[in-house]
Every structure is written in structure tokens, then in C-alpha cells.
Structure 1
């Protein structure tokens, strides 16, 4: 099989690398594309899109391959694989970074931190830049620096016709608006340009763990603590078991626990003052909140969500952290059967909330907290855990029904979250506008192997 004008690698089912090339982060996804087109640059991407359209083949786009729903790979179609396109260029004077579409957040942090700069990225360093950004892009820096989409200044996009567009607030502004939250519905983004900010290289960051029995008390304290927290303090609450990381005493490994993970995007001294009350609350099992290199912190939990494990997610935005909501979370968080399953709650607000809603397609500007329920099990545990863990996640989400906002972060949706939940992620007004832009740039819905927005 050949593609005119393509200079990268073409991988078919008879290729020795085929099984590795079709594997994605979520090991429960097992799809068999007809062709994997591993692109060397934008011209290859355009050629691969034209080939797929000419042969009426489904298209999946792979950046980091990290989406839980497995949208990076399709059956019997063409995977446009950007994984060889991971270059990052930093302009320290202009405080911007150019990032190829297949880069991971670890690639970005590595290069930008050489200049003491960063932009909002994911909380796992092997997450792909493209997928996370196009859905909005939440992370530890968002309360002070905005979402990833708030820092996006320009993009290069290959359209459904195989054309290459330079997109920004001045060029194709409708498409630029849609890219900032609308997902991979509008084309293949081959490069991004992000604004950078002074961060680190040493920040005060890390988790503080308390016993699971303290969960309700910790969450009630946390609710009041973050209400007055400075924007520089990013926090994520993790509920599950203590991961078996080398920095954690072995006696605590796999113990049910709640953790508040912090990253202060300012001076260490200011950070120490900002977290003092948190560290003094009750009696933590272990306090790992220390001065640390920002890039190292960003990859500190990579080994707790490894490639090839099986994952299933359910998620929602929350109306708040009332005592009743806290009771539900404390009651359900530790009922998973797999010790690798967990839930994570993100504190939003700050700079995220100050961006006018109409500026981007990301629709969750007024949300204070969201939660993702992550069922996790190993491949050889599928018979034992798969049904039980997915049922736990669904029950947990159902139990939160009285505390759910009418919205959800689109990047947290799993494969069985249908069209209704995609609409929920945007709301009717934003969804209608996205559908109109989809009809302009992809009227045939060629890019549908995603959290799909149909042309309208």
C-alpha cells in the first residue's frame, strides 16, 4: 500500500511493528486499522488525509494516544499517527513555544523549563499535547495561567480536504475559536504555538496523604481552604490507595487514603505560607509537599497510570462541595475492587473563570470543581475486575446525581458516553456554533472518530 507524496512510515497488519503501533494508552482498546500512517511532517499528514478521503476510509488521529476512549485508533481505517512529530521550539524572548502535534507534555516541560518557563499542561507527562489542548486543557497551572486553550496563540491545521491552514485570532478566527475546546472535530493540528510564563524551575509541589477514615473531614476542610486560596495554588484531590512509589514509605503502600496534591506556581516561600494550614490539618499519613523541579513533579505520578493497563472513566462537573456531596464522595470513593482504581477532583476557578465564556469553545468556565472516576485494572485481571470496576464507576457517578452540574469536561468522556454527554460538555449554544463551524470545515464529518460534533 502506497500514498502519493508520503515520506513517513506506512504500517499494515503484516508489519512487525503493527501491534505496537496500534496499541494506545488504554489497554482495553483493541482495534485493528487497515493502515497506520506514521507521519514525518505536515505534508505527510495532508497526503494521508487525502488518501483516506479518496478511498472512503475512516480516519483516526493519534497524538499521544492517551484518550481513555481510544479515539486514536480505529477499525479498518487509517490512523494518522503523529507520534514521530514531537519537536518543541522555545522562544524565550517572546515567551512562546512551538510544539508539534505528536508531542507529549513531558517534551514541552523539558524544553520550556530550560528557560524557567511553562504553560498549562496535563498532570501526567506522557499525555499528548494535542488531545488535551483541543478539549480545553486543565492542569496545575490553570488557576494562575489559564487553560491550555487560553494560552494557545496559533495552530497549523490540515483540513478534511487535505489543505493546510495557519489559524489564529486573525486568520480563520472561527476555526481558531472552535479548536480551543471543540476537540479533534475540525482537522489535524500539526503544530501549536503557546504562550509561556515564568514558572520554576523549583516549585513547592507534592501530595499530602490522610487516612481514608478522615476523608469527610479533609474534604470539608479543603472546601473552605481552597475558597480563599491564591490563584498560584493548584490542587487536585486524589481518593483511592497510596501508590507504591519509592518516595512513599513501604508500610503505606496500597493503604486507602485521600491526598491533596498541590503545586504552587510562585516562590517557594509564598507557597509555604499558602499551604501551611493544609499541612497542619489533623495528622497526615505522609507529607511529600516539598520544593521540587517543576518538570519532575509533572511526571511524578506517571508510573501510577501506565500504558497498557485497562481504564474506564466516568466524570461530571459538580455544583459544589456541600456536606451531602462530600458524604457521597467519601462513601463511594473506596468501594472499588482494584487497588489501582481512584477518583480525582480538580479545583477550577481563578484565571479559568475570568476568561469570558464566548472567547473559546471550552464551556466550563463557571465550574468550581469537577471529578473523574477512574476504574483501573491490569490486563491479566480482566476476568476478575473489568465488570466490577466499571460498575463501581457507574454507581459512583449515579450517586452524585443530585450534586452534578449540567456539564462535564469533554476530555473525561469514555467510549460509552454518547452524543448526549458530548452536548452536555458544551451546552446548547456552544454546541450549535461548533456544529456550524464543523459544517464549514468538515461537512462530511470525515473527522468523526472523536467526541463527535456533527455538522449542522
Structure 2
């Protein structure tokens, strides 16, 4: 596949043919000289912005099917863009085509059946706002301008995970356009093996044009907000996290980590707290944390549909960014976390404009998550541990490789020293300890899917035998591009 027999200078004519084929259908095809092209290649991370030869913006599944058929016929490299938040670069391409789903953002709620149907290009704000009109919610992310598709297909942790599990645990069905161009529904009743694969590795099997989620009553506001502490308070915060591990009832979340945000650019400990209930109970539950004396306290009762917007100011679209992921167990030693903070601060302080970087310990209760086995679907990151993430932000392209290496080393240190088992022989039992949505595209499939990788490879041959969907996490070897 993708043996490009045409001379590269003639390739733009191929995209003009696609534009003619879709003309009058409602789909839009943007070329580099088209109005709106510049905005279409923008991504959450600047280092993921690439000048595609063309961008297709479908509005229906049939547009996606037509585009995929065209891609197969002309052997055109391509990627799919949902929300554009991936820092692995898997939603961007040069010398190829982008299928951009951002014009497919309709959300439909069936209040009686308690289901939410979201088109493939929706962001979580679309889902949260529409569901709230009916007093409902589902498990989404923690930043509402992220894409529904990317988060869901990779797993999906959110504020409601402690109560209802992962986003994929609440996924009832998907409509997906396969490499063949065929539109099928996958659920536990239809194409069950494909549904197994989609829940964790969906980006490798097709373009999902609709997601159907289970919804839950959420008529009341929640208690949530940010607490910012001086770095000297870190030991007390670690001790509270240790207590949180056993004290929570699934209705609370504690996100905590360190950064050097503006305007002072001094090291601080950031915490985001959540309680799905009233303020009086929340303040009692988080009393020990509040007693540490935050220098900033934005906590309040907020409507659920506003919850996933609270962290938006810390997740802007400027700069180059890199996500990395690992895992940690509680209890943690404050001395150990203090050492991680020291490593983190030493690195970012010696390099220009990295003060908004963040290391985050995502203490999202997992008792409900681990009630589902790692064999129930392709997602394999269920175990007696929490996710730890790095999000580095910088502006100098010369730092790209150095930051990637440091992120990996810091997360490896955090995961191994924190007691998360990384032995592949038992990953099918304990979980892999690596969240696929935080991983880079060159991460081996076995590190993301554990013992499920073999079955995924077999299903890949069944549903995408020519490996058309070869970007992102690789389940089988990527095809070689030959340019004559």
C-alpha cells in the first residue's frame, strides 16, 4: 500500500479529482491555497502542525466512505482528525490528506432510553451541554475542548469514572466506516469482535462517525475547583493523597501535581478537586487538604456541564506540547515525590519558556474500573494503580528530542519506584501500567495492549487487511512508502 507511483509534483491534481468527486455533496475539500486551510491544520500542539496536501471535511458517513475509497484507489497517505489534541502527531500529515471530522458535531439525547449519540467530530463540550438539557451526563474527559473520538477510542478517564467506570465502559455502540468503505455498526450484539477491538484501539480499524453512550441522571451541581499551594506544602498533599486512596467512595476525584505557571513562574503544587454532591460534605471530605492553606482557591458548586471547562485555561492551544504517561500506586512516600519535583524543576528551569509544563498524578478512583477485566475489550490498563502524566510545553523546536527523552525517563522513574509492576508476563492480570492516550506513536503495541496485542493483530488482518489505517499505534508493521 501507499506505493506512490505518481510524480510528487503531480499529486495535487489527485486531490483536485477528489474535490470534483465530492463537489455539491456538502463536503468541503481544502487545498493549501483555500480559504480556511490555515485554520484546518491548526493543532493543540504546534509541533504537530503539518502542511497537508488537502483537508477533507465530511458532513456525512457517505462522505467518509467516498474519501476512503478514493484513498485506496489512488494510494494516498492519510490521517483522521477528531479534536486535534493528540501530541503524537497522529492527526497530522505532510504529503497526504487529512479527514477532518470537525463538521460532524451533532449530539442527540434519548432521555427515555438514557443514551447519548455523538457524531465523530464532537468535542466534550458538545456532549456535556446537550446532555445537561435533559439532566443527564456520561463519563467524559477533564478538558471540554478535547475530541470525543480520541478520548473514547483510547479508553477515557473522567470525573465520573469512580462511579461509572471508563468512557469505553459506557460505550454502547459505534457507527464506523471500515477500510473497505463499508459503514457498519459495532456493539455487543453486532460485529462483537470489532466492538471488542474498537474499545481501546479503534483508531486502527476505521473512522467512527457516531458514538452511542449510556447516560446517567446528573440534575444537581457538583463541588469542584482548583487549589494552588506553595511547593513547601507538597509533603502534606502527598499525605492527603494517601488518605484519599482509602477514604473516597467513588464520588470524589483528586488531580495533583506541580508546575511553575504565570504570572510568578514559581514552583507550586496544583490540585483539582471534585465531589459529586453537596458543598458541606465536600468541605468535610477535603478538610485536611484545605487546612494546608492554598494561596488560590476557586472551589465552588458548579453545574456539571461547566465542570470540564474548569481546566481549560491551563490547556490552551499555543506552544509545542508532549504528553507522556506512566502509573503509580498509593501510598506514596513524600520524600520520593519531593525527589521527582526536584528532577522536574531542574530540567525546566534550565530551559527557556518551559514554566507551564506539568507533572500530574491523576488520583481517579479505580474500583469501578477494575470490575471489568483486561480481556473484556482491547483496553488493557486496568489495575491497582493510578495514571501519572507529564505534559511538557515549550517553544524551541531544538528541544523536541531532549524533552521526549526526559519525559520518558521521569515517568519510568515514577512508575518503577512507585511500585507499578512492568513485567509483561503478568500484564494481562495487572494491566499494562501505560495509558494509550498518553503514549507516543512509536510505543510497541505490547506496552499498550499487553496480551491483547495478538488478538488485535488478528482482527486487524480481518477488518483492515491492507493496513490502510497505519498511523498512530501500530498493531502490525507500517507499510513502506515508495516514492518514484
Q: Does residue 305 of the first structure (1) align with residue 315 of the second (2)? A: yes
Range that drifts further, 351-360 or 439-448: 351-360
Measured against aligned partners, the alpha-carbon deviations of 1:76-134 in whole angstroms (never above 9, x if no partner) come to 12211101001111111211111000000011111111222111111111100000000
The residue number in structure 2 matching 1:409 is 435
State the distance in 2 between where 1:240 and 1:71 align. Answer: 27
Given the superposition, is the C-alpha separation of residues 169 and 157 from structure 1 closer, same or farther in structure 2, using an over 3 Å criterion? same
8 A Cα contact 1:140 1:235, kept in partner: no
8 A Cα contact 2:40 2:55, kept in partner: yes
Q: 2:462 aligns with which of 425, 440, 443?
A: 440
State the distance in 2 between where 1:227 and 1:357 align. Answer: 23
Range that drifts further, 435-444 or 309-318: 309-318
Measured against aligned partners, the alpha-carbon deviations of 1:179-200 in whole angstroms (never above 9, x if no partner) come to 1111400110000000111225
Q: 1:51 aligns with which of 41, 55, 70?
A: 70
CA displacement at 1:255 relative to structure 2: 3.6
State the distance in 2 between where 1:207 and 1:232 align. Answer: 17
Q: Does residue 371 of the first structure (1) align with residue 358 of the second (2)? A: no
The residue number in structure 1 matching 2:51 is 32
Q: Does residue 276 of the first structure (1) align with residue 299 of the second (2)? A: no
8 A Cα contact 2:78 2:96, kept in partner: yes
CA displacement at 1:66 relative to structure 2: 0.9
CA displacement at 1:169 relative to structure 2: 0.5
Given the superposition, is the C-alpha separation of residues 171 and 24 from structure 1 closer, same or farther in structure 2, using an over 3 Å criterion? same
Matches within 5 A, 1:304-453: 304-323=314-333, 325-335=336-346, 336-337=348-349, 338-348=354-364, 349-377=366-394, 381-382=395-396, 389-390=403-404, 392-400=406-414, 401-403=416-418, 404-406=420-422, 407-415=433-441, 418-420=442-444, 422-427=445-450, 429-453=451-475
CA displacement at 1:157 relative to structure 2: 0.3
Matches within 5 A, 1:10-409: 10-242=29-261, 254-280=265-291, 282-323=292-333, 325-335=336-346, 336-337=348-349, 338-348=354-364, 349-377=366-394, 381-382=395-396, 389-390=403-404, 392-400=406-414, 401-403=416-418, 404-406=420-422, 407-409=433-435
The alignment partner of 1:359 has SS state of coil
Measured against aligned partners, the alpha-carbon deviations of 1:171-224 in whole angstroms (never above 9, x if no partner) come to 000011111111400110000000111225410011222211221331123112
CA displacement at 1:269 relative to structure 2: 4.2
State the distance in 2 between where 1:44 and 1:436 align. Answer: 28
Given the superposition, is the C-alpha separation of residues 100 and 383 from structure 1 closer, same or farther in structure 2, using an over 3 Å criterion? closer
The residue number in structure 2 matching 1:247 is none
Uncovered stretches (5+) of structure 2, i.e. residues with no partner: 1-15, 423-432, 479-484
State the distance in 2 between where 1:138 and 1:413 align. Answer: 15
The alignment partner of 2:285 has SS state of helix
State the distance in 1 between where 2:108 and 2:36 align. Answer: 29
State the distance in 1 between where 2:186 and 2:124 align. Answer: 22
Given the superposition, is the C-alpha separation of residues 370 and 285 from structure 1 closer, same or farther in structure 2, using an over 3 Å criterion? same
- Report which of the two structures shows the higher radius of gyration computed on alpha carbons: 2
Number of aligned residues? 440
The residue number in structure 2 matching 1:454 is 476
CA displacement at 1:387 relative to structure 2: 6.3
Uncovered stretches (5+) of structure 1, i.e. residues with no partner: 245-252
CA displacement at 1:260 relative to structure 2: 2.4
8 A Cα contact 2:121 2:148, kept in partner: yes
CA displacement at 1:391 relative to structure 2: 5.4
8 A Cα contact 1:444 1:455, kept in partner: no
8 A Cα contact 2:360 2:390, kept in partner: yes
The alignment partner of 2:290 has SS state of helix
The alignment partner of 1:334 has SS state of helix
Range that drifts further, 44-53 or 385-394: 385-394
Cα RMSD of the aligned pairs, angstroms, is 2.2
The alignment partner of 2:85 has SS state of coil
Measured against aligned partners, the alpha-carbon deviations of 1:283-340 in whole angstroms (never above 9, x if no partner) come to 2223322211222221122122212421022221224443264343333343323211
The alignment partner of 2:46 has SS state of coil
The residue number in structure 2 matching 1:2 is 17
What is the TM-score with the length of structure 1 in the denominator? 0.90
Given the superposition, is the C-alpha separation of residues 181 and 394 from structure 1 closer, same or farther in structure 2, using an over 3 Å criterion? closer
